[in-house]
Structure formats: C-alpha cells, structure tokens
C-alpha cells in the first residue's frame, strides 16, 4: 500500500515527543466508529459531519497531548482548521481528511504549535512506519501498538496493517482509544461497513481498562483497493477473519497496556441465552473493581466474579453455573475443592490469564478483555494533571 | 427502648474480635430491605421468606467474618439453624428472628463455633450498647458506626438509634452494608414501609464505594412502639425527616470508611428532568474510577466529571451545564478561569468535599455520596483473602 506519513514534535505533549501525525493515501473507502459519549470532542463532532458527506477519504491528521474536548465552538473551529490545513499541505481535495485528538480534556489546543507541527509533518513525508506512527499518537501508553498481517484468498495476496493507542479511559463504546487499520483489498463501502461493525463489536467494543468511556474514541478502517483481492459476499467471511485478527491484536495491546496493569484478563462467557447476554456478563465481571484488585493480588476470589454477575439482576441459576480460572474448576454449582495454591501460582506466573464462565442457559458466547487494577493505576490517575 | 443485646467472640473472624451479635426486643413492626443481587446470600434468602410470613419480629442474629453466600443448600440450612437457635436461646417464638451474615463469600460457616457463639451471646444479655454492637458486626471497617437522635413531635418525645457496617462492596441496591435502625414510635407497618422506602432510597441506596453490589446487604428498620408518639399521615413528614437524618448519618459513615478512602464526596445534582435522572447522573460520576482517583490526587479534573455524565448517552446540552467543586465555578458551559491553586487547596484541606452540577434541564435534584479511590483500596482488596 502506498501510504505516506509525516510526524512532528509540535510541543503539545509536555514530554516533547512526537505529537502530530499525518497520513496520506489514495482516495479510499472507509468505516469510521466514534465514541457515543454525549460529550464528544470537537474532532469527533467534525468527523461525524464529514462521515455523512463523503464515501472516500485520502488522509488523516492526529494530535496527541490534547483531546480538544469540552472546548465549545472554539474547539470545533480548531478541529476544522486542522483538517483543512492538512488537506492544503498535502494537496488533497476538500473534505478528504479526518481529524483526531487525544490527551487532556477541556484545554484549548495551542493552535500556533499545531499549525507549525502539521506543516512540518506534511513537508517531511515518508513511507508508513507503523512503530513511529503509533508513538506519535500515544499519551500515557508505555509501548507502541501496531501489527501487520499478510494473507491470501484464492491464491491472491492481501494485507491488513494497523496502529492503536490507549491505556486509560478504555471502555466499550470505545474510550480514549484511537485505532487506524488499513487494508489493500478492493471492497465496496457497504460491505466494509458491515464487516467492520461486527469486528469492532468483538474487539474494540469488548475491552475495558477502567470502565470510563472517553470523549474521543475513534476506530478508522480504510480499504485502499490497491491489492489483488476483491471482497464479495463469497469471500467476506474469510476476510473478516483476517480483519478480526488484526483488530483483536490491537485491542488486546491496549488492554495489556492498561494504566498500571500487570495482567491481561480474558473473560470467556459460554452457554448464555444470547451473544448480548454473554457480552453483558463478561462486561459486568470486567467492570468489577473487586475482581480487578483480586486479579492484581493473584487471588482466585471467585465470589467476586459471581457476585458481579449477580449484580446484573438476571435470573441466573447459580447452582448450574461453572467457573474456571485457567484450567482450575473453581465453582461447579457450589465451591469445589480445587488446588488453591496451584491456582494462585497460575495467576502469579502468567501475564495473560483466562476466566471461563458457563451459564447453562443457552449456546451463545462472547469474549471480553480487561486488566487488573493496581497501585500504579491509582498513581497514574491521581497525578495526571497535577 | 428496651433492647437487649449479647455479643460473643466465636472465632469466625481471623482477628478474634467479637463476631456474633444478638438483639432482643418486644414484638415490633419492621421494614426490611435486602440486596437485589441475583446471587443472594443464604441469610438473605431466609429473611426474604420470613418477611413474607410475619408482620412483627422480636430479635436478630448477626455474624461477621463469613457471608454465608454462594454456599448452596448447606448454607441455607445453616442460616435457618442460626435463626432457630437464637429463637430458642432467647425464648422467642418461632419465626421472630432475622439472620444476617457478612464477610468472605463462598466458605461454609464454621457452625460449631457459630452455635457456641450464639449460645454465649444469648446468655449474657445487656442493654443495647451501640458502639459495641457496631463493633461486633464489622469486617474491614476501621471505626464503629452508630448514631442516636432524640426528637419531639407535638410535645411528645421519640427516638431513633442505629448502627451500620460496611466499607467495601458498597453500591446502590445496597452492597456489603448492614444497617439496623430502631425507633420507639408507634406506627403501622404499611406506613413504616412507605416512609422507610423513601428514606432508604435517598440514603443507603445513594452511596457508593466501589460500584460493587454485595450478596448480603440488608437494612432493617424496627419500630417498637414503646414511645409516646403515634405516627399518622398527619405527622409522617416530620418523622421522615428524623429517620432520614439518622439513616443519612449511618450511610455517610459507611462511605467515609470506604476501603482506603481519604475523602467523603457529596455529589449534588440539580436541574435534572426527574429525580431518577438526577440520581443516575450522580451515580455515573460516583462510579468513575478516573473521577475517584482525581479526587484522591486533589485534582479538580472536571473533564472526568463531565465525560462520566456523557457516558450516560443522554442528550444533555453541555453548553448550558454548570459545575462547581466546592464554591469554585469550574465549568460554565465552557471552562472558566477559576483559581486552580485554591481549588486544589480546597480538595486537600477537606475530608468532606462537595461537587455541584447544574444540568439546566428541569427542577429535580438528588444527592449521591461516594469516596476517592486510593492505593489503600487496592491494597485492601488485592490482599483480602490471600
């Protein structure tokens, strides 16, 4: 794929690191998912309007270090200016660039710095470097998040690449996460929208760090059509599998880098009445601070898992429920005599752990991803702006 | 009021402190509110059944150190035995005693110790000592929670006294909290139920520590009728005010003692469309880990407050919203130039702080109470059973 990028150190981030990213690519169909928070950031408002107008885009501009959220009319003007300036600097036509921001809420963008940064980034284009692109959009992230996948369908080659950022305020309906995925397949927008929606629901909308939904979350999926593969109803499932793989990797990286997290926790819910119910149950567990602190303490405290499920007030028959932590059957309609010491060891020795819950109500399932709640989370968030 | 109590150190609590409480009083009308968690503890199941059967009760038995939750049929048998043993030992008639448990989930009660403890407590009755009673039902609590109020209506004297416990797993629909309130007024059960429901909704159901609802929460309000005052439709509002005062004090003590908390935070929501909306908004803020950690860090991070409200996905017009932290107007449709240093000082120097939000949508209001999220919370809950 011919994707060009430019980055700049505009001085928006206190750290002084890269904080402006522009990407330019051929006019491409896209699917864009934005936060549902009713206090959306200015760039989200701008992008929502643009999404209604255009079928194809040719670029994006992202700043990190400032969310441009709760900044009123001024903020909206700034977002618009960022998009238009990028279009100008990259010689792209009107209404072809989405704009994204991430960082502190409620502070007006330092537009002098932003303008200078965008101009600099646009005048130093280079081939897409996933790692550097990820670095330029990060805030409290502790590592770069990117991945790429090459695949073939019917002997033809295709690829999917992506970057993401996010470490706190991560919660379904997508909280301060940004993710950009590019694929070279040829695909119509309606088909891309359909497949993306399913994939986003199972990945970026099934992760949690702290239950807090952000004002800025955005996932953009772009199909440039430069590759050999044409996606149709016949091979869509195969393509979906590849897109899912990349999206899940990027989403899991966000959780793994959850502020202060020491563990990625995968919650698999089985035998629910519906996928929606399975997801709700997984989410209820993921949101429990008591569960998350127990995981930090390597404590197989299953009572906190079941009471989190009970908090949904569903008529679940707990005498039929089975709960596993790793391979340990901890609860089988009642507490079991599992080997507690070995279960503690399992939690201690693994940075990725699995909790499996069988509800005995149907045949739907869902996987939800979260992380533990640690001293470090408190430290990061008690001292973020002070 | 002639309320007799007995306590014992049965050895259920690892600390070896008092862990059995029995109370005996004359047959009295009551109102009982139990957790809505669909994984209710055995005593909750027992009490629910008893509540359907009897208009009056004469005693309670409480053990701390073990919740008797998720213990199946065996647990239910144990709860029943506790109630019946207490009835026997106190020479009370059948079906006159409610039973309550609080502590670790999923471990069967050590019934030998419990039996011995109940017998000992029943054979050493003394006048109600609120402080000692509170101590005997506490788990992770760091101080005793009790209060009493004397009042008069139309020249006649009345009183309300109460104890409570709870420090974690505190959340609406009442999470591991126990509260017992006694009044000497004469009142019919339907009237007591009506007034209690309103009071509980605005007190014990409007507090949060960690968003986690417990399997054991119970609030019992008993009217012994030994006093001079007869409550009727005419003076019910006056009585409600006194009952509310006691209930609110007990509820706030629970939040103040929230696990690891350094601050009690009162969230007043004004100008909502309905009381329910006002409550939802207050709760959304109270549940935000980002808000709670910011309060711990004495950080007037209003973006986290507004984005928590935005997470409700209501069509709130944030350009009309006003937000105060203490007396500082922090947001007035847009960020204000408030004196940040002084606002930080306000948060630093007060163990009880107030956040006020004006929604500009109607005239309903609600107060919600929560605490900050601290290192200590993580420590307590990461190491609770290990």
Query: Which class would CATH give B264-382?
Result: alpha beta
Tokens 């990190």 -> residue = A64
CATH 3.40.50.2300 fits A4-256, yes or no: no
Of residues B161, B248, B179, B256, the one with CA closest to residue B217: B179
The predicted pLDDT at position B174 comes to 34
Lowest-confidence segment of A51-60, B51-60, B163-172 by average pLDDT: B163-172
What are the structural domain ranges in chain A?
4-256, 264-382
**H/E stretch holding A154:** none
- Taking the CA of residue A161 and the nearest CA in chain B, the distance in Å comes to 30
Going by C-alpha positions, the residue among B192, B158, B175, B163 that lies closest to residue B105 is B175
The minimal CB distance from A386 to the residues B299, B331, B333 is found for B299
- pTM of the full structure: 0.82
Q: Where are the beta strands (DSSP E) in A304-361?
A: 322-325, 328-332, 352-358
Give the model's pLDDT for residue B172.
Answer: 38
Q: Which two tokens stand for residue B298?
A: 């004495």
pLDDT at A174: 32
The CB-side HSE value for A106 (13 A sphere, CA atoms) comes to 20
End-to-end CA distance of chain A: 43
Ranges in chain A, pLDDT < 70: 167-175, 210-214, 384-386
The complex's ipTM? Answer: 0.76
Distance (Å, rounded) from C-alpha A224 to C-alpha B40? 54
* Strand A264-272, strand A352-358: pairing: parallel
Q: Would you state the pLDDT for residue B211?
A: 63
pLDDT beyond 70 at B64? yes
- What is the pLDDT at residue A210? 67
H or E, element range at A65: strand A56-66
Q: How far apart are CA B189 and CA B172, in angstroms?
A: 24
pLDDT at B191 > cutoff 90: yes
Query: B334 to chain A: which residues are within 8 Å by CB?
Result: 70-72
Q: What is the mean pLDDT of residues B95-123?
A: 95
B105, B106, B315 ranked by CB distance to A38: nearest? B315
Q: Give me B163's structure tokens.
A: 């104890």
Beta strands in A298-381 (DSSP E): 322-325, 328-332, 352-358, 364-371
The two three-digit tokens of residue A110, written as one number: 């330092």
pLDDT at B36: 83
Give, as one character, the DSSP assignment of residue B86: H
Q: Which residue has the higher pLDDT, A314 or B172?
A: A314
**Among A127, A144, A223, A226, which Cα is nearest to A178's?**
A144
The phi-psi region of residue A154 (left if phi > 0; otherwise alpha if psi is between -120 and 50; otherwise beta) is left
Q: Give the active site residues of A.
A: 176
- Rounded to an integer, what is the distance from CA A340 to the centroid of its chain? 34
- Report whether pLDDT(B175) > 80: no
- Note the pLDDT tens digit of each residue in B312-355: 889 999 999 999 999 999 999 988 999 999 999 999 999 999 99
Average pLDDT over residues B186-204: 95
In the predicted structure, residue B73 carries a pLDDT above the cut 50: yes
Mean pLDDT of chain B: 92
pLDDT surpasses 70 at B170: no
Q: How far apart are the first and last CA of chain B?
A: 43
pLDDT in tens, B243-280: 999 999 999 998 888 878 899 999 999 999 999 999 99
In order of A87, A154, A289, B168, the CA distances from A208 in angstroms are 34, 37, 12, 22
Identify the residue among A42, A73, A212, A289 best suited for mutation to test binding to B, counting B beta carbons within 10 A and taking the highest.
A289
Collapsing DSSP to helix, strand or coil, B243 comes out as helix
Answer with the residue of higher pLDDT: A256 or B49. B49
CA angle B342, B344, B350 (to 5 degrees): 100
Say whether A39 and B307 touch across the interface (CB within 8 A): yes
């Amino acid at each position: 794929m011919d994707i060009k990028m430019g980055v700049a150190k505009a001085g928006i981030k206190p750290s002084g690191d890269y904080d402006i990213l522009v990407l330019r690519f051929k006019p491409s169909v896209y699917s864009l998912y934005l936060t549902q928070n009713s206090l959306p950031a200015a760039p989200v408002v701008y992008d929502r309007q643009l999404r209604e107008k255009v079928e194809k885009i040719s670029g994006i501009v992202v700043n990190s270090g400032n969310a441009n959220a709760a900044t009123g009319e001024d903020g909206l003007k700034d977002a618009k200016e960022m998009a238009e300036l990028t279009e100008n600097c990259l010689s792209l036509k009107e209404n072809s660039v989405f704009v994204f921001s991430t960082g502190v809420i409620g502070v007006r963008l330092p537009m002098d710095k932003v303008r200078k940064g965008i101009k600099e980034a646009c005048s130093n284009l280079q081939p897409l470097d996933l790692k550097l692109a990820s670095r330029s959009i990060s805030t409290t992230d502790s590592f770069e998040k990117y991945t790429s996948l090459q695949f073939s369908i019917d002997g033809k080659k295709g690829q999917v690449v992506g970057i993401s950022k996010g470490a706190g305020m991560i919660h379904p309906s997508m909280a301060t996460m940004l993710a950009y995925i590019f694929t070279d397949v040829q695909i119509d927008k309606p088909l891309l929208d359909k497949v993306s929606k399913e994939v986003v629901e199972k990945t970026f909308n099934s992760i949690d760090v702290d239950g807090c939904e952000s004002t800025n979350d955005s996932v953009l999926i772009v199909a440039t059509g430069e590759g050999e593969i044409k996606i149709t109803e016949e091979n869509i499932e195969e393509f979906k599998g590849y897109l899912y793989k990349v999206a899940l990797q990027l989403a899991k990286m966000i959780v793994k880098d959850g502020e202060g997290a020491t563990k990625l926790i995968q919650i698999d819910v089985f035998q629910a009445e519906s996928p929606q119910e399975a997801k709700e149950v997984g989410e209820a567990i993921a949101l429990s601070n008591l569960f998350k602190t127990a995981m930090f303490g390597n404590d197989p405290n299953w009572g906190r898992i079941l009471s989190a499920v009970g908090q949904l007030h569903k008529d679940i028959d707990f005498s039929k429920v089975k709960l596993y932590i790793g391979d340990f059957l901890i609860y089988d309609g009642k507490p079991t005599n599992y080997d507690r010491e070995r279960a503690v060891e399992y939690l201690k020795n693994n940075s990725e752990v699995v909790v499996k819950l069988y509800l005995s109500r149907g045949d739907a399932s869902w996987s939800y991803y979260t992380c533990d709640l640690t001293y470090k989370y408190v430290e990061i968030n008690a001292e973020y702006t002070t």
